[in-house]
A and B are shown apart, each in its own frame.
Chain A
Amino acid sequence: MMERKVLLSIAFAATLPLFGQTQTAAVTPPAKAPAPAPTSTVFTNPRSGPDDPRIGLKGGLYDAGEAAFGLERLISLPKPPGFAPGNVITSPAAAAADPANMTATAGAAPHPAAPSPMSQYGSTNSDLAFSGNHLFVGNYNGINTYDIDNPKEVKLRMSLVCPGGQGDVSVYGHLLFMSAEAMNGRVDCGTQGIPLPAGYVPPVVPPPPPPEPGKPPVRAQRPPPPPSPDRFRGVRIFDITDIANPKQVAAVQSCRGSHTHSLLVDPKDKDNVYIYISGTGMVRQSEELADCSGGDPKANPNTALFRIDIIKVPLAHPELAKIVNSPRIFTDTQTGDINGLWKGGNHGEGTQTSSVTNQCHDITIYSALGLAAGACSGNGILLDISDPVNPVRIDAVSDPNYSYWHSANFSNDGTKVLFTDEWGGGGQPRCRATDPMNWGADAIFTLKDRKLTLASYYKMPAPQTEFENCVAHNGSLIPIPGRDIEVQAWYQGGVSVVDFTDASHPMEIAYFDRGPIDPAKRAMGGQWSTYWYNGYIYGSEIARGVDVFKLVPNKYITQNEIDAANQVHFDELNVQDQPKIVWPKNFVVARAYIDQLSRDNGLDAKKIAALQAAMAKVEAHPDKKKVAQLKTMAVSLDKDAAAAKTPADASRLKALAEIMKQGGTTTSRL
């Protein structure tokens, strides 16, 4: 029975794209032959049909058409000065006359400046972090801090200008952490990049050696570029005790810079926090940063490839933060080779090109379980982090449909991991009707006995145009009790809310999408991250700014479920330092479980009615007798749990019984 169901879904997935394509020919440029549908034995959600309201939305930077389902956009704020588009230049000639527009770098003779995407769309918004009533929005040019005391009236409080890309951001108390990886980042947060030393004469580059017939070309030996003590690639630490006057307290340099980082708070260590650095950029030369060198591990056992870096931050003295270990987490435990995981090679016919695993892109730490899930270019890996400085790899998976393992989220109970594949690096349109549904998608794995097993793929189902960069990107859990739900960013594919409670059959339950940034050409934009924080969903739109959403009931989500999620409160949220969600044992949460049991036919309708009546009575006039009646019902619910049809219903019934046993009176919060 199961098998038939799966096959049917695959057939659906294969036929629907064609259907969508013919219908959307007017908005989608002529498509190439459909890409091969890779063979797979697990479920992939189907592409949506031609009636999906996300198809054919009007383009525009601030006036694009919108489609929403189960999500309501409350407010959008464009990027502020220092990050915003603007600076409209009258003509390239006028711009050229301004000496500020001339580069001062050698090997880079000045061209007249032309209106660039920087002036059209500003600098790229990236990841998000939250603390109290503050939202921190990372950007390639710094960080913007917003007051979200009233999420419907979000206000900008402070812009921190400090270029370096990608500006991945985390917060812990009064410390704000920021990733920098690009070549233009400076220790002093200057915006001028790294000019060459005065009087610098570029060395003569020798011609490359003549190619040998039938051999790949060999690189000419070049003199290294001048090292710069001003360049910064790594993790910056700011003290934000006074939010209006942030101070840089440390700038921890690393060999590949920091593409992303993840905060690790060790429950056993009150004096320090740790930062795992994922670096993906070119390795610096040792002339610029001591002990840095790249290359094949066979030729260079000290290569900065094939490792991550770990920073220890002493909370009393954050200025003393430094890298304390660079563990070789890809080592083959049998041979000792440090490049022990994905060495390249093909998965077979109709499959993806997975990247060589010499780096992690992002690591999600789940301290409550002592585990971390690493999305590490060619592999998804599982780490035991009980000793934060010495993580140990306990499992690794690869996938024939995966190009670039990008990020991960655990389900709250730790039985599933949702990985993402950033096929094409984020700048390419990979949600066209011709792009396979299991490429550039989420892969949902079950996690049992510390082993990962593939259960399904999920991709935002609405076909997007050639002009919309789109692929799986960052998301966080929405704390609806009794279900595993993630709100996820898909760049210009918008926001998609996926329910993966049943790991083998993920489904979309809400969405938000806009038309392309530019209706006639490619422009980088869309949602980088969309995260739930204390009742609202915040999105960092790369080009358009910040969006705030809230969930609204639809056929897949009830108001009771939304209310139950809103009982959860975080004092601080860094999504890659995943918090364990604990729900209060009260009637608000009980009603969410009851709605789910009702939706799934997981509990007899009469019992549901009796339960609701009993709860209403206790709420009206709580007395010992009525509370005792609830406790009797709890016994019956526990029995129902033992006979439940699905594991999800069983745990809902058990949780419901717990609430009834306590009389629905506790108001404990996380």
Chain B
Amino acid sequence: MAFYVCLISASLVFLGAATAAQQTKPGPHDDGPPVIVQPGAPGQGGKVLTPAAAAIKPRTPAEADVAFMQGMIMHHSQAVEMTELLRTRGYSKDLLEFGKRISISQSDEIKYMKQWLTDRGQSVEMQMDMGGMKMDAKDMQMPLMPGMLSPKQMEALEKASGPAFDHLFLTGMIQHHTGALIMVKDLFDTPGAGQDAVLFDFATDVDNTQTAEIKIMQAMLSKEKQ
């Protein structure tokens, strides 16, 4: 929801320090219309805005923001796929419980991201422009988002069972989540991106949650070694 363009129209009144002092100071019970003020930087004067000038203009999301959400949906979908496999092939009870949590949060977040895109009139799927030939990312045969497991890795996971599955799941999910952290970092390092408030909150939460989950899986891996 972050930022909106506010037209600096000619109707704006600039309140310098001198003119401000001459304004009649409204008393605490003043019944006049509410004033809309946009203060300036420290030491600078502010402006009084008309309701029309203050109105929030719909804001086009930055391309990098849209790409982040579309990419993260794909990224999250693989995590859900992996937790589905875990449900039937996993071995450790701890890991099974942990997988349920990942599944809840990633499934909820997929819905959240789709809503974010739909609300902004954007496609929920990433369109790849391959030399003039448009195709959906889901048809691609290679991992597109950092950390996503390759088809070969997914195949190995599907074939494994017991403690071997757990091991592949843990290393795979650490790889996967590490990729999500890279995606967040890349987003905020893209000039002009990450200025949408809803996306900012969401990406910050992804970073928090997945950092913690990586730590837990690393602990599980080291326990496995013992």
Q: How far is the CB of A303 from chain B (nearest CB, A)?
A: 14
Residues from chain A with a CB closer than 8 A to the CB of B20 are: 242, 245
- Whether the pair B188, A355 counts as a contact (CB closer than 8 A) is no
- Whether the pair A219, B174 counts as a contact (CB closer than 8 A) is no
Does B175 reach chain A (CB closer than 8 Å)? yes
Contact of B41 among A161, A188, A202 (CB under 8 A): A188
Residues from chain A with a CB closer than 8 A to the CB of B2 are: 140, 163, 165, 182-184, 193
Please measure, in the bound complex, the distance between the C-alpha atom of A251 and the C-alpha atom of B44, giving whole angstroms. Answer: 12
- Whether the pair B37, A355 counts as a contact (CB closer than 8 A) is no
Residues from chain A with a CB closer than 8 A to the CB of B171 are: 214
Residues from chain A with a CB closer than 8 A to the CB of B35 are: 157-159, 244-245
Q: Assign chain B's interface to a size class.
A: 35 or more
Q: Digit string of B190-202 for contact with A (CB within 8 Å is 1, else 0)?
A: 1111110110111
Residues from chain A with a CB closer than 8 A to the CB of B52 are: 81
- Whether the pair B62, A107 counts as a contact (CB closer than 8 A) is yes
Q: Which residue of B lies closest to A466 (CB)?
A: B111
Does B219 reach chain A (CB closer than 8 Å)? yes
How many inter-chain contacts with C-beta < 8 Å in the A-B complex?
338
Does A383 reach chain B (CB closer than 8 Å)? no
Contact segment of B53-61, B131-139, B157-165: B53-61
Does B104 reach chain A (CB closer than 8 Å)? yes
- Whether the pair B4, A124 counts as a contact (CB closer than 8 A) is no
Q: Digit string of A228-262 for contact with B (CB within 8 Å is 1, else 0)?
A: 00000000001000111111111100000000000
- Whether the pair B5, A141 counts as a contact (CB closer than 8 A) is no
Does A216 reach chain B (CB closer than 8 Å)? yes
Q: Which residue of B lies closest to A250 (CB)?
A: B42
Interface centre among B28, B55, B59, B184 (most CB of A within 10 A): B59
> Given known contacts A191-B4, A524-B198, is B192 in contact with A107 (CB within 8 Å)?
yes
Residues from chain A with a CB closer than 8 A to the CB of B6 are: 161, 190-192
Tell me which residues from 72 to 110 in chain A have a Cβ below 8 Å from any Cβ of chain B. Answer: 80-84, 86-87, 89, 92, 95, 100-103, 105-110
Q: Which residue of A lies closest to B196 (CB)?
A: A184
- Whether the pair A119, B51 counts as a contact (CB closer than 8 A) is no
Does A364 reach chain B (CB closer than 8 Å)? no
Residues from chain B with a CB closer than 8 A to the CB of A192 are: 3, 5-6
Contact of A349 among B5, B55, B93, B119 (CB under 8 A): B93
- Whether the pair A159, B54 counts as a contact (CB closer than 8 A) is yes
Interface centre among B28, B37, B101, B115 (most CB of A within 10 A): B37
Contact segment of A339-347, A496-504, A564-572, A632-640: A339-347
Residues of A within 8 A of B (CB): 32, 35-36, 80-84, 86-87, 89, 92, 95, 100-103, 105-120, 122-124, 132-133, 140-141, 147, 149, 155-163, 165, 181-184, 187-196, 200, 202, 208, 211, 214-217, 219, 222, 224-226, 238, 242-251, 280-282, 319, 343-346, 348-356, 377-378, 403-404, 424-429, 521-524
* Interface pairs (19), CB distance under 8 Å: A95-B58, A105-B62, A107-B191, A107-B193, A117-B119, A118-B56, A123-B56, A155-B34, A159-B35, A163-B3, A165-B197, A187-B41, A193-B3, A219-B185, A244-B25, A344-B218, A353-B216, A425-B202, A523-B115
Top 3 nearest A-B pairs (CB, nearest first) are: A344-B215, A114-B121, A105-B192
